[in-house]
Amino acid sequence: MIRPMRKRPPLILSLIALIALSWVAIGCEDPAGNDVTTTTGGTAASTPGPTSTVASDDVTINTERVIVGGRTVAEYEAALPALEAAAAAAPEDLAALQELAIAQYNTERYEAAARTYEKMLQLKDDAPTRNNYGNVLRDWKKWDEAKTQYEKAIALDPTYAYPYVNLAVILRSEGKADAALSLLDQGIAATTGDDKSWLETYKKELTGTTTTTT
């Protein structure tokens, strides 16, 4: 879910979605995913990364729930050895590293996923990777470090929508609603098309003027 491209990846969507609808759970679950953000995860959307990363699936890790792309945690667990081998054989292959990071994230190997994203950033520093790395740190309960990654993602590409929502979620969970709304306004001013509409809808949801369903 977290490939470095404009199109919204599934994991980031899951992560952001999870957070957008669950303000009550923010203190313990969020701030991917998809939150997005989750998670999304994997990183995102939302992805996943993860993602990531504005209203959707519960990405709580267990062995029965399907997380993203039709895979269960057990399937991610089973895939890890091959993904680790592929990444070791091609340490500069961003696609292989991304697949490994997604599996690590979805099996709650946050420290390992963080190392993988750090390797990716050494090869290519871009907004989607920073956002997805932020999702890992967020779900690892490293709030300040996650916020730093979202801020860097925004600085790298102000038109990339996911980190605005992910960062706004954390700010909101800290009781900084005004700062969250100001950040969303910043994102709305910088984006166009569907991304702009998405952020506008999320802002309305945050202020209680609309309800997002999935």
Q: What angle do CA 36, 42, 44 make, to 5 degrees?
A: 30
Residues 149-170, mean pLDDT to the nearest whole number: 97
Q: Is the pTM of this model over 0.85?
A: no
214 assigned to some structural domain? no
The type of residue at 93 is D
Nearest to 43 by CA among 76, 10, 7: 10
pLDDT greater than 50 at residue 147: yes
pLDDT greater than 60 at residue 4: no
116 assigned to some structural domain? yes
The type of residue at 106 is N
pLDDT at res. 20: 33
Cβ neighbors of 106 (< 8 A, separation 6 or more) are 11, 41, 42, 50, 59, 61, 67, 68, 71, 73, 76
Per-residue pLDDT band for 210 (boundaries 50, 70, 90) equals: low
What are 30-89's pLDDT values in tens digits?
A: 333 333 443 433 333 333 334 343 222 333 323 333 444 568 999 999 999 999 999 999
119 assigned to some structural domain? yes
163 assigned to some structural domain? yes
183 assigned to some structural domain? yes
Whether the bond between 107 and the residue before it is cis, its omega within 30 degrees of 0, is no
Number of domains in the chain: 1
What CATH number is given to the structural domain containing 187? Answer: 1.25.40.10
1 assigned to some structural domain? no
What are 116-129's pLDDT values in tens digits?
A: 999 999 999 999 99
Q: Which residue range is the domain that position 53 belongs to?
A: 10-206
Q: Which two tokens stand for residue 143?
A: 């709030």
- Rounded distance between C-alpha atoms, residue 14 and residue 99, angstroms: 16
Contact 133, 104 (CB under 8 A): no
Average pLDDT, the chain: 75
